Amino acid sequence: MNIVVVLKQTPDTESVIRIAADGKSVVTDGFKWIINPYDEFAVEAALRLKQQHGGTVTILSYGPQRVVESIRTALAMGADNAVMIADDAIESYGRLKLAKAVAAAIKQLNADIVLMGSRAVDYDMAQRGPMVAEFLDWPHLPLAVSIECDGSKVTIQRPIEGGKVTMQSTLPVLVTFGGSHAVWNPRYASLPGIMKAKKKPLATKSLADLGLDAAEFTPDKAKVRNISLEMPAERAAGRIINGDLDTAGKAAELVRVLHEEAKVI
Amino acid sequence: MSKCVCVVAEYRAGDFRRVAYEVASEGKRIADILGTNVCAVLVGSNVMDKAPTLGRYGVDKVYVADDPALENYLPETHVPVIADLIKKCDPALVLLSASVDGKDLSARLSARLEEGLVQDCTEIVVDGGKIKVKKPIYAGKCLAWSQWAEGAMPLISCRPNVMSCMAPMEDKKAEVEKVDVAVPQARSSVTGLELDTSGRVGLSGAEIIVSGGRGMKEASNFSILEELAKLLGAAVGASRAAVDSGWRPHADQVGQTGKVVNPNLYIAAGISGAIQHLAGMGSSKFIVAINKDADAPIFSKADYGIVEDLFAFIPALTEEVRKLKSTCS
């Protein structure tokens, strides 16, 4: 089975976010860069599919040179090879253009199944997977928290508000992943894995290599523009319920303020 | 009259979801500013009876695709059908729901229509006739404003429970046009739908959430939070530490790699307040933190803090809530 995982690099979820001087980007100095956690779940699911069905796992990523480190991490987890769309500004061309570039790269890879996170922990746009599926004219199965494959058919479960849905598709199909670390428990890269990863093939592609017209991939052609960032309003300093009271007294005081002042219970 | 505002009304298991009314109300608010009317798109099976009721939330006309094959949300069938109905409306902009299905639909629709989308918006502003939207990024650590290129048709998915729902105009009915659509053949299908009928309150849409973290020590201790939640009509949430420890299901996780929630009251018990958790609950209206460590970062976000051992405090709190409920009822 030819498995492709689309991977984005994002800042670690523990990162502190500050707005840069331009007022519309964030300060990236000091960021620790990681594989977008939802994409990491897709890497884990891909490696399990390979264990069951054989084949290869190809990592497909995009962005500036720093992304190579995350690609190597995925290779060290057990993926076989990688393709990187090397373009420092790829995200500034808009989500539609990014999805077109990813779809073009997937077409060159002859994939049976494409896996990726349902969203990224930075801009949380939740757009890439469904857009790529549309450009490939493939079905997609969204927000999987489990996946099973019998070699020709894929079944997933997805949570919805107040319930869950089971969905199925024939191959080829694109699957986006939800869930959490506890659900997927993505494996760590082993030391031998890290050594091997250094020698695994990583092909670098430009937009032209993908058969795309670079003139269409410019920030001024983006349909949506980020115009400014702002920090959320700071919460007013809270108050600690009187420390002189005993436990029952504090509980009574809390219920009183929630009922009479905040009016939330 | 200029082009309409189009709203895509989310429908499940025989009725509109509440977010459909929020999106319609917001559509009406924007249409009034732009001096135009509101069209809705409704897709499902046996939905004709309900279609006119969207008029109560400001919708003038509903375009309906009604087909047994459209019973459950399936990207392969819903996206092409909804895209065709939107083209029929020929709107200036489209509002959708940033619900689980709505976000998925919006993204694929954006590619099909080749129009730009901003997901999970919390505010829409009309600025000199141009649309501007705000959305949380980095799970709410920061907020981003976006605008569309000249001539573009904005696609905007609206975060549930944020935009206000108008008081329904009981006697108002929307005009309904049933559109004959060819539902495409699909390779994918929905093979099961299980709705939770236990009466347990889910995190999305809960007005009160009681969450536990590492300080809960083990899975069985969550019973004290369950008891308090039941009295308050609240949902039970958990920090990543509690979920990673296997004490709670992943669906209960609040934070940057879980759900972002915005209840009226969030009670954090034994949660230290890692930045990834704070991002997920920081927009709650009132936050109560219970922790025996007075230096825990959660206290910096809390409106009310209690420095106590939660195993002593939660039962005392439950008792006080019980007293309050018995005097109120």
pLDDT value at A234 more than 90: no
pLDDT by residue (tens digit) across A99-122?
Answer: 999 999 999 999 999 999 999 999
CA quadruple B275, B276, B282, B286: dihedral sign: negative
Q: Mean of the pLDDT values across residues A163-187?
A: 96
The fourth-level CATH superfamily of domain B208-328 is TPP-binding domain (3.40.50.1220)
Tell me the pLDDT tens digit for each residue of B122-152.
Answer: 999 999 889 999 999 998 899 999 999 999 9
B132 to chain A, any CB pair closer than 8 A? The answer is yes
Does A60 have pLDDT greater than 80? yes
Contact A240 B307 (CB under 8 A): yes
Whether the CB-CB separation of A177 and A27 falls below 8 Å is answered with: no
Q: Where in chain B is the domain with CATH 3.40.50.620?
A: 5-178
Start and end residues for every CATH 3.40.50.620 domain found in chain A: 2-221
pLDDT tops 70 at residue A153:
yes
| Mean predicted confidence (pLDDT) in A10-34 | 96
What pLDDT score does A235 carry?
A: 80
> Could you tell me if A78 lies within 8 Å of chain B, comparing CB atoms?
no
Q: What percent of chain A has pLDDT over 70?
A: 100
Mean of per-residue pLDDT scores for chain A: 96
Between β-strands A153-160 and A146-149, what pairing exists: parallel, antiparallel or unpaired?
antiparallel
pLDDT at A242: 79
Contact status, residue B56 vs residue B169, Cβ threshold 8 Å: yes
Q: Which residue has the higher pLDDT, A144 or A243?
A: A144
Q: Would you call A143 and B100 a contact, using CB atoms and an 8 Å cutoff?
A: yes
Please state whether the predicted TM-score (pTM) of the whole model is above 0.95: no
Residues of A whose CB is below 8 A from B104 = 126, 130, 142-143, 176
DSSP string of A180-228? Answer: -HHHH-PPPPPHHHHHHHTTS-EEEE-TGGGT--GGG-SGGG-SEEEEE
Predicted local confidence at residue A237, as pLDDT: 73
* Inter-chain residue contact A131 with B276, CB threshold 8 Å: no
At A238, the pLDDT band (50, 70, 90 cuts) reads confident
Chain A contacts of B243, Cβ < 8 Å? 180-182
Nearest residue to B238 via CA among B284, B203, B287, B275: B203
Q: What are residue B44's DSSP bridge partners?
A: B66
Return the number of CB contacts < 8 Å for A and B: 283
Q: Residue A245: is it exposed, middle or buried by C-beta count within 10 angstroms (0-12/13-18/19+)? A: middle
In this predicted structure, the answer to whether residue A247 has a pLDDT above a threshold of 60 is yes
**Which superfamily, per CATH, for A2-221?**
HUPs (3.40.50.620)
pLDDT in tens, chain B (329 residues): 689 999 999 999 899 999 999 999 999 999 999 999 999 999 999 999 999 999 999 999 999 999 999 999 999 999 999 999 999 999 999 999 999 999 999 999 999 999 999 999 999 999 988 999 999 999 889 999 999 999 999 999 999 888 999 999 999 999 999 999 999 999 999 999 998 877 777 888 789 999 999 999 999 999 999 999 999 999 999 999 999 999 999 889 999 888 989 899 999 999 999 998 998 998 899 999 999 999 999 999 999 999 999 999 999 999 999 999 988 65
CB contacts under 8 A, B 163-222 vs A, are 186-196, 202, 204-205, 208
Order across the sheet with B304-307: list the strands: A239-240, B304-307, B286-291, B265-269, B208-212, B235-238
User: For A65-95, how does the pLDDT look when each residue is reduced to its tens digit (9 = 90+)?
Assistant: 999 999 999 999 999 999 999 999 999 999 9
The CATH class of B5-178 is alpha beta
Predicted local confidence at residue B1, as pLDDT: 62
Are residues B324 and A160, on separate chains, in Cβ contact within 8 Å?
A: no
CATH 3.40.50.1220 location in chain B: 208-328
Nearest CA in chain B to A163: B195
Q: What is the pLDDT of residue B201?
A: 78
Consecutive H or E run containing B191: strand B188-195
